[in-house]
């Protein structure tokens, strides 16, 4: 005992205190680890075990794995980890074989930035962070199968990330099979001539480079020169998902520009429709499903060709019904039909040498020739982000190209503009402009004095002359007008009929067709980083990309002197990325025999690395079979844990808990990889996560002084109706995020030291419904500590340490309290309502405290079992003290006896003509109709009526029934 021992401690040396909790917790954590208590056996392989457990129904319960940050965990981080742990423990106690583990997502920018600042190698700092986080997590008593904990930076792990990349590289999307297939099947079609090469030459006549280029158009992982998001401030290119709505980098908030750079992409767009369709069968929050649907952005419309001399401009429109109202056209500035104008070589360019007769002055932008105007405008557009370009409110800019096209239905010549509000990356990069009915076209037409024609009759009384309007009339719910041509009329039709009719008309002439367009873009997959997975790709002297053979995997990251990214002036769009790996000529230039019959040759390695999303695209699969050296995952093991089953048609993890911020990044990418692996026959599941749950955030008060600077939350004092900081002055208080920078982080280590891990677990679960954000309040933690102290006292004598329970039968009231608690907690556990489960356990515990006297053994035992998923250490300790030799982890969860669960009864008096004839015990909630039926069926009542008819029955549920015989 320490010097600070209090009188109370002397009187009650066996009280549940922080010191006792620490002792109990450490002992059981060691015990669990030693015994492998949380190890879930596989049906086969090196993790095979206990056949009885494998025969049980399975549950695969997962968290979004953490990034091992240098700051370690604060109490907000483990909210989800504790919740899945409680759920996993409940599932173990209800007869399931439960897979629950946690790995680390450890590649990525922060480690690299930290490395640059401190000169520590990213691997060194990352490994140290992982060690610290493992220690913090262990202290919480999380029941993880440690054998399955993976780290994405482990070469034995990223070997398979690279292997999956090669599977994707070596496959194409076969629309006939509506699935990915090996690229060899495509080559076979070209060889057999059942599929035409682009220029019609036989496959055998194509050079190696030509073949590689053709296949590159099909591969699901491919290098392309399409414009990408270049972020000079970060020194890397970024995926669309990593760029904010303001056109800046999600990380660091730097400007992002469009640049043409050769980069790797994943053809996720091939899966757009399946990614959309398969959402239906997933048990995910509606909000997340909606975000994915919007991100995929399916639009039904048509492609329509507008002839220009011998060429044609194809547009994508969702309003083909307004074709008669298309009075001009707009191409994206990057559109290939006008590319080359600025070089003056005219390649692929429609642009004429001089302005056509009668060109409107505002259309020329003051330039002498169309080529000048186009070149100047293209340059200007390149320095803007897509979002800036699309902003509705901004002034419309653009220039005439000098070209006219033919409206295919009206036969009119319409001028063709380029303007930055049309994006190259959407649809066909060209639009037919219908200024009367599209807001952006209206604004543009006003600015450039272009004609407008009303073809959808306004329903708001504004008339059919757009010259008199203030804005476009954009409606789907009106009649078509002014739309009659030589051999077609849409006049009088509704929008839907008009669309169908015009689409058929276009298709019959071969100048258009109905089509579906997606907002989703291919996933930009290269980063100019050191701390990521190297690509298992080498280039030969002709620049053709070759896959490394599987025997050369993993391709390990080389040890380098200089791993820092090259960053640039954040606003300088004209910069070019530089990959850290490219600085290592020894590593980059290699002589290899790829086993393809070409013998040893010299190659250059790909020097980009994969994005930090790669490792998290498939980690659920590696948890299943973490040590398998020959396969990503054994098919039988995958089938056992993740295969499709009743109610889960695509298979997947049974519960996946994490933050809502991953709606379109991680969750979309992981679904895509899962589908490719499924199509190629490597896994039976076509979805990674069947049920998704988003936990809320733990918030904390942020205190700021008069200058707005955050002051340490631990050092403010509340008095006289204000909050004060000791250095003087009142401070403001606002609820915000918890974190080091806001000086309000509370660590789990502090709370564990003060109260123990069980108290922390209970507090986090009791704070409110799991999916709701909640403010942290250190002062409230003690409430849960007291619950555990009372629980302890109901079983253990604080003075002697003896177990006090007795073998006597519990009284009726206690049995009711017990079974009601069991019933309620069972339902709450199954539905992740841990806060209300805790309320029910507390109520039962308080009942026992209030009743006084020793607690009956059966009640004490069942109470311990009820709380075991929430507070596993104290439960394990009490379970042992109550005389059990097995671990509480695998004990059976209590089952409620329905007889004690029904509400207590009330006595109902049944009268005939005012005289009491019977008494019934009924539920207080009984309905009038049920009570009347019960009264009339009562033998004493039947006898008293003696066959007489009934005139009237007066019912006052639940206490009285009065029968008036005929």
Smallest distance from ligand ANZ to CB 523, Å: 19
- For 685, the token pair is 């599941």
Closer by beta carbon to ligand ANZ, 25 or else 441? 441
Q: Name which position in 376, 391, 423, 592 contacts ligand ANZ (CB under 6 A).
A: 423
**What does the angle CA 857 – CA 861 – CA 862 come to, to the nearest 5 degrees?**
120
Q: Are 220 and 270 in contact (CB under 8 A)?
A: yes
Q: Name which position in 214, 381, 431, 692 contacts ligand ANZ (CB under 6 A).
A: 431
Q: Name which position in 44, 120, 197, 318 contacts ligand ANZ (CB under 6 A).
A: 318
Q: Which stretch binds ligand ANZ (CB under 6 A): 41-49, 425-433, 533-541, 622-630?
A: 425-433
Residue 99 φ then ψ, to 5°: -100, 115
Closer by beta carbon to ligand ANZ, 20 or else 506? 506
Q: Which stretch binds ligand ANZ (CB under 6 A): 254-262, 433-441, 504-512, 689-697?
A: 433-441
For position 322 contacting ligand ANZ by CB under 6 A, the verdict is: yes
Q: Which stretch binds ligand ANZ (CB under 6 A): 15-23, 284-292, 432-440, 943-951?
A: 432-440
Smallest distance from ligand ANZ to CB 298, Å: 9
Q: Which stretch binds ligand ANZ (CB under 6 A): 220-228, 364-372, 427-435, 534-542?
A: 427-435
For position 434 contacting ligand ANZ by CB under 6 A, the verdict is: yes
Closer by beta carbon to ligand ANZ, 431 or else 547? 431
**What does the alpha-carbon distance between residue 823 and residue 827 come to, in Å, rounded to a whole number?**
7
For position 426 contacting ligand ANZ by CB under 6 A, the verdict is: yes
Q: Are 370 and 400 in contact (CB under 8 A)?
A: yes
Closer by beta carbon to ligand ANZ, 28 or else 316? 316
DSSP-derived secondary structure for 465-497: -GGG-SS----SSSBB-S-B-SS-B-TT-BHHH
Q: Name which position in 42, 161, 317, 648 contacts ligand ANZ (CB under 6 A).
A: 317
Q: Name which position in 232, 255, 398, 429 contacts ligand ANZ (CB under 6 A).
A: 429
Q: Which stretch binds ligand ANZ (CB under 6 A): 264-272, 310-318, 460-468, 522-530?
A: 310-318
Dihedral of alpha carbons 391, 394, 396, 397, sign: negative
For position 592 contacting ligand ANZ by CB under 6 A, the verdict is: no
Task: Name the residue among 531, 518, 502 with its Cα closest to residue 108.
Answer: 531
**What does the alpha-carbon distance between residue 489 and residue 501 come to, in Å, rounded to a whole number?**
9
Q: Name which position in 58, 74, 267, 319 contacts ligand ANZ (CB under 6 A).
A: 319
Smallest distance from ligand ANZ to CB 462, Å: 15
Q: Which stretch binds ligand ANZ (CB under 6 A): 244-252, 434-442, 655-663, 794-802?
A: 434-442
Smallest distance from ligand ANZ to CB 322, Å: 5
Q: Are 236 and 109 in contact (CB under 8 A)?
A: no
**What does the alpha-carbon distance between residue 256 and residue 384 come to, in Å, rounded to a whole number?**
8
Q: Are 442 and 327 in contact (CB under 8 A)?
A: no
Q: Are 686 and 639 in contact (CB under 8 A)?
A: no
Q: Name which position in 432, 548, 588, 961 contacts ligand ANZ (CB under 6 A).
A: 432
For position 515 contacting ligand ANZ by CB under 6 A, the verdict is: no
Smallest distance from ligand ANZ to CB 266, Å: 22
Closer by beta carbon to ligand ANZ, 426 or else 444? 426
Region 328-357 residues binding ligand ANZ, contact defined as CB under 6 A = 332
Smallest distance from ligand ANZ to CB 376, Å: 21
For position 136 contacting ligand ANZ by CB under 6 A, the verdict is: no
Smallest distance from ligand ANZ to CB 441, Å: 7
The DSSP bridge partners found for residue 399 are 418
Residue whose pair of structure tokens reads 């356990």 in the numeric block: 841
Scored b (16 or more CB within 10 A) or e, 375-390 reads bebbeebbebbbeebb
Q: Name which position in 98, 422, 481, 841 contacts ligand ANZ (CB under 6 A).
A: 422
**What does the alpha-carbon distance between residue 960 and residue 966 come to, in Å, rounded to a whole number?**
20
CA distance from start to end of the chain: 84
Q: Are 211 and 409 in contact (CB under 8 A)?
A: no
Residue 658 φ then ψ, to 5°: -175, 180
For position 299 contacting ligand ANZ by CB under 6 A, the verdict is: yes
Strands 97-100 and 58-63: parallel
For position 520 contacting ligand ANZ by CB under 6 A, the verdict is: no
For position 868 contacting ligand ANZ by CB under 6 A, the verdict is: no
For position 324 contacting ligand ANZ by CB under 6 A, the verdict is: no
Task: Name the residue among 73, 82, 80, 83 with its Cα closest to residue 131.
Answer: 73
List the alpha helices (DSSP H) in 384-494.
386-390, 439-447
Q: Name which position in 84, 171, 265, 517 contacts ligand ANZ (CB under 6 A).
A: 517
Q: Are 79 and 695 in contact (CB under 8 A)?
A: yes
**What does the alpha-carbon distance between residue 865 and residue 849 come to, in Å, rounded to a whole number?**
18
For position 107 contacting ligand ANZ by CB under 6 A, the verdict is: no
Residue 701 φ then ψ, to 5°: -75, 135
Smallest distance from ligand ANZ to CB 289, Å: 19
Q: Name which position in 74, 159, 437, 521 contacts ligand ANZ (CB under 6 A).
A: 437
Region 673-712 residues binding ligand ANZ, contact defined as CB under 6 A = none
> x-or-dash pattern for ligand ANZ, window 614-653, by CB under 6 A?
----------------------------------------
Closer by beta carbon to ligand ANZ, 521 or else 546? 521
**What does the alpha-carbon distance between residue 182 and residue 360 come to, in Å, rounded to a whole number?**
55
Closer by beta carbon to ligand ANZ, 284 or else 306? 306
Q: Are 116 and 564 in contact (CB under 8 A)?
A: yes
For position 427 contacting ligand ANZ by CB under 6 A, the verdict is: yes
Q: Are 867 and 93 in contact (CB under 8 A)?
A: no
Smallest distance from ligand ANZ to CB 315, Å: 7
Closer by beta carbon to ligand ANZ, 318 or else 628? 318
For position 438 contacting ligand ANZ by CB under 6 A, the verdict is: yes
Q: Is 471 exposed, middle or buried (0-12, 13-18, 19+ CB in 10 A)?
A: exposed
Q: In what order do the strands lie in the sheet with 298-308?
A: 311-317, 298-308, 512-518
Residue 695 φ then ψ, to 5°: -80, 155
> x-or-dash pattern for ligand ANZ, window 169-198, by CB under 6 A?
------------------------------
Dihedral of alpha carbons 123, 129, 130, 135, sign: positive
Closer by beta carbon to ligand ANZ, 137 or else 332? 332
Smallest distance from ligand ANZ to CB 896, Å: 54
Smallest distance from ligand ANZ to CB 482, Å: 14
CA atoms within 13 A on the CB side of 51: 0
CA atoms within 13 A on the CB side of 893: 26
**What does the alpha-carbon distance between residue 638 and residue 651 come to, in Å, rounded to a whole number?**
10
Closer by beta carbon to ligand ANZ, 474 or else 782? 474
Q: How many residues bind ligand ANZ (CB under 6 A)?
A: 19
Q: Which stretch binds ligand ANZ (CB under 6 A): 402-410, 428-436, 555-563, 920-928?
A: 428-436
- For 243, the token pair is 């760029």
- Chain-centroid distance of CA 399 in Å reads 42
Region 468-487 residues binding ligand ANZ, contact defined as CB under 6 A = 474
**What does the alpha-carbon distance between residue 490 and residue 324 come to, in Å, rounded to a whole number?**
9
Query: Which residues of this protein are in contact with ligand ANZ, per CB under 6 A?
Result: 299, 316-319, 322, 332, 422-423, 426-427, 429, 431-432, 434, 437-438, 474, 517
């Amino acid at each position: 005992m320490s010097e600070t021992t209090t009188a109370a401690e002397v009187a009650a040396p066996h009280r549940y205190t922080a010191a006792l909790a620490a002792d109990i917790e450490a002992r059981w954590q060691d015990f669990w680890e030693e015994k492998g208590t949380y190890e879930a056996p596989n049906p086969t392989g090196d993790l095979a075990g206990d056949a009885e457990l494998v025969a049980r129904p399975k549950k695969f319960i997962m968290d979004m794995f953490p990034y091992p940050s240098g700051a370690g965990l604060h109490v907000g981080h483990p909210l989800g980890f504790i919740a899945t742990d409680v759920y996993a423990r409940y599932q173990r106690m209800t007869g399931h074989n439960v897979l629950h583990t946690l790995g680390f997502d450890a590649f990525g920018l922060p480690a690299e930035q930290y490395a640059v600042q401190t000169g520590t190698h990213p691997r060194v700092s990352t490994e140290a962070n992982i060690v610290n986080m493992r220690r913090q997590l262990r202290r919480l008593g999380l029941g993880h199968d440690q054998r399955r904990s993976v780290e994405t930076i482990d070469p034995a792990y990223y070997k398979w990330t690279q292997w999956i990349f090669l599977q994707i590289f070596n496959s194409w999307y076969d629309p006939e099979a509506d699935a990915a297939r090996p690229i060899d099947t495509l080559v076979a079609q070209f060889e057999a001539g059942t599929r035409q090469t682009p220029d019609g030459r036989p496959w055998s006549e194509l050079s190696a480079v030509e073949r590689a280029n053709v296949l590159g158009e099909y591969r699901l992982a491919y290098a392309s020169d399409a414009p990408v998001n270049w972020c000079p401030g970060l020194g890397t290119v970024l995926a669309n998902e990593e760029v904010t709505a303001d056109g800046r980098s999600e990380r660091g908030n730097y400007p992002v520009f469009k640049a043409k750079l050769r980069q790797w992409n994943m053809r996720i767009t091939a899966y757009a429709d399946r990614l959309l369709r398969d959402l239906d069968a997933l048990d995910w929050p509606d909000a997340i499903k909606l975000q994915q649907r919007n991100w995929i952005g399916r639009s039904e419309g048509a492609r329509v060709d507008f002839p220009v001399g011998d060429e044609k401009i194809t547009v994508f429109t969702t309003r083909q019904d307004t074709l008669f109202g298309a009075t001009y056209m707009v191409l994206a500035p990057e559109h290939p039909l006008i590319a080359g104008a600025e070089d003056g070589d005219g390649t692929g360019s429609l642009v004429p040498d001089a302005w056509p007769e009668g060109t409107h002055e505002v259309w020329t932008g003051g330039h002498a020739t169309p080529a000048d105007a186009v070149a100047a405008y293209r340059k200007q557009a390149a320095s803007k982000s897509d979002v800036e370009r699309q902003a509705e409110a901004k002034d419309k800019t653009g220039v005439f190209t000098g070209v006219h096209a033919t409206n295919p239905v009206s036969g009119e010549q319409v001028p063709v503009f380029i303007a930055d509000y049309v994006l190259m990356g959407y649809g066909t990069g060209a639009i037919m402009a219908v200024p009367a009915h599209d807001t952006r076209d209206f604004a543009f037409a006003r600015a450039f004095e272009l004609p407008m024609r009303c073809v959808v009759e306004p329903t708001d009384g504004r008339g059919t002359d757009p010259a008199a309007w203030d804005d476009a009339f954009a409606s789907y719910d009106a009649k078509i007008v002014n739309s009659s041509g030589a051999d077609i009329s849409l006049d009088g039709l509704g929008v839907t009929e008009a669309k169908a009719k015009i689409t058929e008309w276009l298709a019959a002439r071969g100048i258009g067709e109905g089509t579906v367009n997606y907002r989703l873009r291919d996933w930009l997959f290269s980063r100019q980083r050191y701390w990521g997975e190297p690509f298992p790709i080498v280039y030969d002297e002709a620049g053709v990309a070759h896959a490394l053979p599987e025997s050369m995997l993993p391709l390990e990251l080389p040890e380098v002197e200089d791993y820092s990214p090259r960053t640039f002036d954040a606003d300088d769009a004209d910069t070019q990325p530089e990959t850290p790996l490219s600085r290592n000529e020894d590593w980059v230039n290699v002589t290899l025999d790829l086993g393809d019959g070409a013998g040893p040759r010299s190659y250059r390695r790909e020097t980009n690395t994969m994005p930090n999303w790669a490792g998290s695209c498939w980690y659920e699969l590696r948890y299943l079979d973490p040590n398998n050296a020959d396969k990503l995952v054994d098919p039988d093991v995958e089938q056992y844990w993740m295969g499709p089953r009743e109610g889960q048609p695509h298979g997947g993890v049974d519960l996946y808990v994490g933050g809502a911020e991953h709606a379109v990044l991680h969750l979309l990418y992981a679904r895509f990889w899962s589908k490719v692996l499924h199509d190629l026959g490597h896994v039976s599941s076509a979805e990674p996560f069947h049920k998704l749950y988003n936990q809320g955030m733990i918030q904390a008060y942020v205190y700021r002084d008069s200058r707005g600077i955050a002051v340490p939350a631990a050092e403010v004092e509340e008095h006289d109706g204000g909050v004060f900081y000791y250095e003087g002055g009142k401070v403001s208080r606002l609820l915000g995020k918890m974190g080091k920078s806001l000086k309000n982080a509370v660590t789990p280590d502090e709370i564990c030291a003060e109260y123990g891990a069980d108290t922390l677990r209970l507090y986090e679960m009791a704070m409110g419904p799991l999916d709701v954000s909640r403010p942290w309040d250190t002062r409230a933690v003690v409430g849960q500590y007291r619950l555990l102290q009372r629980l302890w006292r109901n079983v253990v004598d604080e003075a002697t340490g003896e177990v006090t329970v007795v073998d006597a039968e519990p009284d009726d009231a206690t049995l009711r309290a017990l079974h009601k608690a069991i019933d309620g907690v069972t339902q709450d556990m199954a539905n992740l309502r841990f806060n209300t489960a805790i309320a029910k356990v507390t109520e039962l515990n308080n009942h026992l405290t209030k009743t006084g006297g020793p607690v009956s053994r059966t009640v004490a035992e069942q109470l311990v079992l009820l709380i075991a998923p929430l507070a596993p250490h104290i439960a394990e300790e009490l379970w042992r003290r109550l005389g059990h030799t097995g671990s509480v982890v695998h004990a059976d969860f209590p089952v409620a006896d329905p007889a004690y669960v029904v509400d207590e009864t009330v006595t109902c008096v049944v009268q005939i003509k005012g005289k009491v004839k019977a008494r019934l015990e009924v539920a207080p909630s009984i309905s009038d109709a049920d009570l009347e039926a019960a009264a009339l069926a009562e033998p004493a009542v039947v006898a008293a009526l003696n066959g007489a008819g009934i005139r009237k029955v007066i019912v006052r549920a639940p206490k009285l029934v009065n029968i008036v015989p005929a």
